[in-house]
Amino acid sequence: MRRRRTSTPTITAGVDAVDAPSGRRKRIDELSPSCDVVASLLPNLLGSRALPCPSRATFNYAIMPRLSKKYIHPQTNKQSVALVEEIVKMGLGVGGWIVTAYCNAAAASSNKSLLVAPPPLPSFSSNIEPTLTLLSRQLQNYSFQSTLLAAGIPSALYALQGTLTYTSYQNLDAVTYNGLTQLKVLSSALCCYLVLGQRQSLVQVLSLGILMISTMVFQGSWKDWFGRETKSIDMVSGSVATKSDRAYDYNRRLILGVLPCIGATLLSGLAGAFSQRSLQTQVGGGIGDSGKTMHRDAYFYTIEISFLSAVCLAFSMGIEYVKNCISTRRRRTTSANNDKSPTDYDQSASTTTTTHFFQHWTYATLLPISAKASAGLLTALVHRHLGSVIKGFALVLGLVFSALLQFAIEGDDLTGGQVVGTVLVLLGSWLHFTNGPKRH
């Protein structure tokens, strides 16, 4: 039988080796499976190597609301939390980028040595130079203009999404939050159609409608939804809530919980579509450099996104700080004219000014931040290899896992709406992922 020759994806690399049978020179990228060794775990959704990243993302989606609600103080500056998350994510991206380049350089060196002699014992120092060569080759067509083109819009969207997400974490229970985030599947499909021109089959459109219905069914009636949170507050306070207290709680959950969650979901779909376009196509070429393009690695793209998002957040926090300084001076002037003591001013100002950067922070605050940063890195890998719509598969499992955690750990009984909503979510997701558009 003739052995079938398989082709492997290639990337830009710079070290050559000799192919013994044909005598032609081969590049490192042809000898190694892919530059994204870790990212290659996601070639397809059902493949044996596709499970780790979606399953880890599922776990993150399920536990993130609980971690944030437990370890992040409600009065913590949400922009500071989002800023530190982007810095942590940038560090993870740098580490993943370097490690994958080193692994591929080591694999290429091993394959090269097999052509001439038995492979020697692996040496860390011997692979440093090929690793640096590989990294420099990936950056040969890099320009800051290409970063702005590829990551400018998504980074601004992700920066705003991060602030809204942490706000909704503090005002929604985990199951409700994960139920509302199922809208990401719909927003991702719509944005992928508008940005990338990706069409959905009729069955897929119907499945998206089922997901929309399941989101509403999952919450039950509005009265039961708000009442579930009101009851827990009353048990903690030990007092009976008045009608005005319940109305305040309704408005708080709607304004600080539901609306930020929906806004973050819509922004996630739009940013995901732009990210998928940047990761799956050649992007680059500023003014005068239209011929230079760069095919982005998922880890390197995470670095770009996180850097620009951090810049946007820092700029926003700087503007807010300047406004607070101006407001503080005006109040001091007013208090001096009214013969108000500095002590009285400080007490009144403390209730109106925003919190400091690290106010209410503890070491435990880094736990949900690190978890969400790792989820962001996994999301970039999913965008690169599967697309932003497929990310909904992990969201669905996160919803189910969150409901199971609520029942097993927190001791809260699942409502009928949650059970029926979970079934509808699974049905809609199965229809969507098994009935793609026909290719002619």
Task: Say if residues 301 and 284 touch (Cβ distance below 8 Å).
Answer: no
**Is the pLDDT higher at 159 or at 126?**
159
Give the H/E segment covering residue 27: strand 25-27
**Rounded distance between C-alpha atoms, residue 49 and residue 395, angstroms:** 19
pLDDT value, residue 53: 54
Q: If you average pLDDT over each of 86-100, 158-172, 423-437, which comes out highest? A: 86-100
pLDDT value, residue 6: 42
Q: If you average pLDDT over each of 39-43, 119-123, 175-179, 254-258, which comes out highest? A: 254-258
**Is the pLDDT higher at 308 or at 113?**
308
pLDDT value, residue 226: 47
Which of the four pLDDT bands, split at 50, 70 and 90, describes residue 100?
confident
**Rounded distance between C-alpha atoms, residue 250 and residue 221, angstroms:** 13
Backbone angles phi, psi at 294, to 5 degrees: -140, 125
Tokens of 132: 């640096």
**Is the pLDDT higher at 278 or at 35?**
278
Query: Looking at the predicted structure, is the pLDDT value of residue 217 above 80?
Result: no
Task: Say if residues 86 and 374 touch (Cβ distance below 8 Å).
Answer: no
Q: What is the mean pLDDT of the chain?
A: 70
Task: Say if residues 431 and 206 touch (Cβ distance below 8 Å).
Answer: yes
**Is the pLDDT higher at 429 or at 368?**
368
Query: Looking at the predicted structure, is the pLDDT value of residue 51 above 50?
Result: no
Largest CA distance in the chain: 98
Mean pLDDT confidence for 300-324: 88
Task: Say if residues 398 and 170 touch (Cβ distance below 8 Å).
Answer: no
pLDDT value, residue 282: 66
The sign one gets for the Cα dihedral 214, 266, 57, 68 is negative
DSSP for residue 286: -
**Rounded distance between C-alpha atoms, residue 204 and residue 389, angstroms:** 11
Tokens of 288: 């005068």
- Cα 265 to its chain centre, rounded Å, is 11
Q: Which amino acid is at 110?
A: S
Mean pLDDT confidence for 144-165: 85
Query: Looking at the predicted structure, is the pLDDT value of residue 334 above 50?
Result: yes
CA-to-CA dists, residue 205 to 227, 261, 269, 435, angstroms: 33, 23, 16, 10
Return the SS3 of 146. helix
Tokens of 438: 């026909």
pLDDT value, residue 256: 85
Quick: pLDDT tens for 369-411.
998 888 878 777 776 666 655 666 666 666 667 777 777 776 7
Query: Looking at the predicted structure, is the pLDDT value of residue 236 above 80?
Result: no
Give the CA angle between residues 56, 206, 424 to the nearest 5°.
50
pLDDT value, residue 228: 47
pTM of structure = 0.64
The sign one gets for the Cα dihedral 337, 343, 346, 351 is negative
Question: Quick one: the chain helix, strand, coil %, rounded to 5?
Answer: 70, 0, 30
The lowest-confidence range among 44-58, 201-215, 360-374 is 44-58
Residue 251, judged by CB atoms within 10 A of its CB (0-12, 13-18, 19+), counts as: exposed
Tokens of 179: 């139920």
Which of the four pLDDT bands, split at 50, 70 and 90, describes residue 420?
confident
pLDDT value, residue 388: 59
Q: How many C-beta neighbours within 10 Å does residue 227 have?
A: 15
The β-bridge relationship of strands 25-27 and 16-18 is antiparallel
Mean pLDDT confidence for 114-140: 68
pLDDT value, residue 307: 92
**Rounded distance between C-alpha atoms, residue 254 and residue 257, angstroms:** 5
Q: If you average pLDDT over each of 189-193, 282-286, 412-416, which comes out highest? A: 189-193
Query: Looking at the predicted structure, is the pLDDT value of residue 98 above 60?
Result: yes
pLDDT value, residue 265: 87
Quick: pLDDT tens for 357-370.
788 888 889 998 99
pLDDT value, residue 87: 93
